[in-house]
């Protein structure tokens, strides 16, 4: 999916975890769970049944009390990639969906080469397609194959689709939603649900330039690409002005909601270069380091 030089750049990056998350395997991110690794964390008093090998005998010699040494476990990070495959993502020859799959593929590669886990799901009407979390370089081809097969299809209620991710998301981690966020039913309950699942949520919204600045004047029959509803519209400069106002209100509302919920949000044009998004924008947003 990518040029080798771009992949080499990715291998020098890593996800930035805002809150410690616990996984099952030995990876590169520190967990709040105390275990047996190389980095000392704290002491606690000995209780019956504790492993005598973890007793600090030097402390016992000084204080004549038994203490157990605690260590920080290093755990892998779970990355969940949610790609919106609603019909609106296929508008304009599918440029939004193409970019969404490239972003997901790059972020998944970054996770897997860093010994983390990465899984992906298609947000469609039934969320029927998902790839369980993969681990290691062997999962890269499976992830890329899954993403390449995704196609824009039917109408999708974003809230409903996100509320069904519980069958896919199996542990705390970072969930990255890549979508145009154009759903009549909204998005608030779905994003709250992701946080309920213990996720550090990142929303990457992709829009076509024409969706913010339509190049239309005159009389048209406009067809909804998801419902096939037809509306006859007379597009005037005054109507365009009202459309732009409503669009900016929608984007501002999404941005404010995410900020209030401590969700990372970034608006992307379908014309942006992938390297600019991954290597610069996501670093600036402190998603990557």
Q: Give CA–CA dist 104/148, Å, rounded.
A: 10
Among the listed residues 96, 204, 113, the one whose alpha carbon sits nearest the alpha carbon of residue 150: 96
- Strands 230-235 vs 39-45: parallel, antiparallel or unpaired: unpaired
Give CA 100 to chain center in angstroms.
Answer: 11
d(CA 261, CA 3): 36
Do 18 and 264 touch, CB atoms closer than 8 A?
Answer: no
| Cα–Cα distance measured from residue 150 to residue 122, given in angstroms and rounded to the nearest whole number | 7
pLDDT of residue 61: 82
CATH fit for domain 78-284, picks 3.30.460.10, 3.10.330.10, 3.40.50.410, 2.40.50.100? 3.40.50.410
Please tell me which of 18-22, 134-138, 193-197 the model is most confident about, judged by mean pLDDT. Answer: 193-197
Contact of 188 with 248, CB cutoff 8 Å: no
**pLDDT value for 94:** 94
Arithmetic mean of pLDDT, 15-44: 53
Provide the pLDDT for residue 71: 54
Start and end residues for every CATH 3.40.50.410 domain found in the chain: 78-284
Give residue-wise pLDDT tens across range 77-87.
Answer: 999 999 999 99
Collect all residues with Cβ–Cβ distance below 8 Å to 183 and sequence separation of at least 6: 86, 156, 157, 158, 159
The answer to whether residue 101 scores a pLDDT higher than 60 is yes
Average the pLDDT over each of 153-162, 202-211, 244-253 and give the range with the smallest value: 153-162
Q: How confident is the model at residue 53 (pLDDT cuts 50, 70, 90)?
A: confident
User: Model-level pTM?
Assistant: 0.82
Q: Is 125 exposed, middle or buried (0-12, 13-18, 19+ CB in 10 A)?
A: middle
Instruction: Out of 50-59, 98-107, 242-251, 258-267, pick the least confident.
Output: 50-59
22 pLDDT more than 70: no
CA–CA dist 27, 189 (Å, integer): 32
Between 256 and 171, the more confident residue is: 256
């Amino acid at each position: 999916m990518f040029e080798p030089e771009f992949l080499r750049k990715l291998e020098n990056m890593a996800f930035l975890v805002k809150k410690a998350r616990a996984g099952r395997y030995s990876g590169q991110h520190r967990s709040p769970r105390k275990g047996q690794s190389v980095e000392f964390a704290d002491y606690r008093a000995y209780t019956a049944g504790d492993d005598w090998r973890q007793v600090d005998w030097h402390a016992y010699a000084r204080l004549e009390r038994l203490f157990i040494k605690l260590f920080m476990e290093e755990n892998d990070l779970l990355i969940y990639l949610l790609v919106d495959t609603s019909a609106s993502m296929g508008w304009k020859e599918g440029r939004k969906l193409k970019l969404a799959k490239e972003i997901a593929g790059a972020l998944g590669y970054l996770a897997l080469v860093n010994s983390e886990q990465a899984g992906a799901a298609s947000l469609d009407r039934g969320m029927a397609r998902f790839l369980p979390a993969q681990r290691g370089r062997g999962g890269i081809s499976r992830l890329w194959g899954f993403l390449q097969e995704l196609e824009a299809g039917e109408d999708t209620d974003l809230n409903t689709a996100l509320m069904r991710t519980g069958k896919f998301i199996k542990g705390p981690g970072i969930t990255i939603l890549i979508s145009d966020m154009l759903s009549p039913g909204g998005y608030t309950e779905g994003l709250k649900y992701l946080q309920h699942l213990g996720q550090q949520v990142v929303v990457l919204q992709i829009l076509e330039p024409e969706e913010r600045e339509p190049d239309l004047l005159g009389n048209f029959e406009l067809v909804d690409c998801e419902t096939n509803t037809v509306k006859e519209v007379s597009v005037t400069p005054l109507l365009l002005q009202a459309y732009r106002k409503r669009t900016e209100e929608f984007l501002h509302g999404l941005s404010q909601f995410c900020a209030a919920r401590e969700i990372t949000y970034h608006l992307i044009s379908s014309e942006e270069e992938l390297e600019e998004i991954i290597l610069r924008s996501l670093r600036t947003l402190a998603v990557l380091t």
